[in-house]
Amino acid sequence: MTEKMRVLLHVSDNQRWSMALGNITNFLKDVGQDNADIVIVANGPAVSSYASSDHMETMELLADRGVRFKACRNTLKKLCAEGAVCITEDALPAFVEVVPAGISEIVRKQREGYVYVKP
């Protein structure tokens, strides 16, 4: 059995979701779903797309194919405190895991051997 290719995508801005999700779709098609271990960490304004319908269909499809979506709790709190948008964790899709700090997740995953891509 070959080791899966571990990939970490970092998305900070809403306008980068389209690129990120397209990258993942292409990657899965190219290397095969069984050979890929993909994590997306969203921090900054990009987390608000988790509460929007814009890319939900594609996200759900990719989540079903094993892609793990994460959201930064610090960001959720900050966006609400700043009056930008208040997204409760309950309001996020079931496939999104909230992590305490997106930056720490980004660092830890790389230390576990995930290669970093900023779409």
**56-64 and 17-31 helices, crossing angle to 10°:** 30
- 14 contributes a contact to a second copy by CB under 8 A: no
- Please choose, out of 16-24, 47-55, 63-71, 88-96, the segment that lies near a second copy by the rule CB under 8 A: 16-24
103 touches a second copy (CB under 8 A): yes
Confirm or reject binding of residue 101 to a second copy (CB under 8 A).
Answer: yes
Q: Map residue 28 onto helix, strand or coil.
A: helix
Give min distance, CB of 91 to a second copy, in A: 22
Burial of 25 (0-12, 13-18, 19+ CB in 10 A): middle
Dihedral of CA atoms 9, 101, 58, 7 in degrees, nearest 10, equals 20
Among 21, 43, 47, 67, binds a second copy (CB under 8 A): 43
Is 62 a binding residue for a second copy by CB under 8 A? The answer is no
